Amino acid sequence: MQISGPEVERRHLEQAKRNIEDHFLAAAPLEKMTDLALLIRRVYGWPMRRLLTEYKARTRQRPRTDRVSARLLRIIENCNAHDLELYEWVGKRFVAQSALFEPDLSRDEYIFGALSRVLNGVGKVIPWTARKRLAQLLFYA
């Protein structure tokens, strides 16, 4: 399926960057969403328990990147060049923002990661209600 529409231009990329700078406290690449949540938690003084999440709908049928041909990947990259540039810019900006909260942010990442691993492991064998109660005990402590 081919989608047609107006071409995305460099000015659109620059406007997106300005919008992020002017209207967002922080932005991060998808793989840094937990880090972003921890940063925002620190800014607003939220307790760790506010970040408790559960992943319910993982996509299992999505093709893995290593199964997509190099030719198709190049086509996708060419069609999304401005998106990729924005993604890189957001990532660098987030690294710089995160550095302002060190070493506390790294400690929070370690604690949250450890607690999440425990909860995800336990979640495979106990019902959600019991897991939720365990999470409350761990995160309120």
For tokens 């942010």, the residue is: 105
Percent of the chain, pLDDT > 90? 46
The pLDDT value recorded for residue 21 is 97
* 61-89 confidence digits (pLDDT tens): 777 778 888 899 899 898 899 999 999 99
What is the C-alpha separation between 82 and 85, in angstroms, rounded? 5
Using the predicted structure, report yes or no on whether residue 135 has a pLDDT greater than 90: no
The pLDDT value recorded for residue 55 is 55
Using the predicted structure, report yes or no on whether residue 120 has a pLDDT greater than 80: no
User: pLDDT band at residue 104, thresholds of 50, 70 and 90?
Assistant: very high
Hey, how many other C-beta atoms are within 10 angstroms of the C-beta on 35? 22
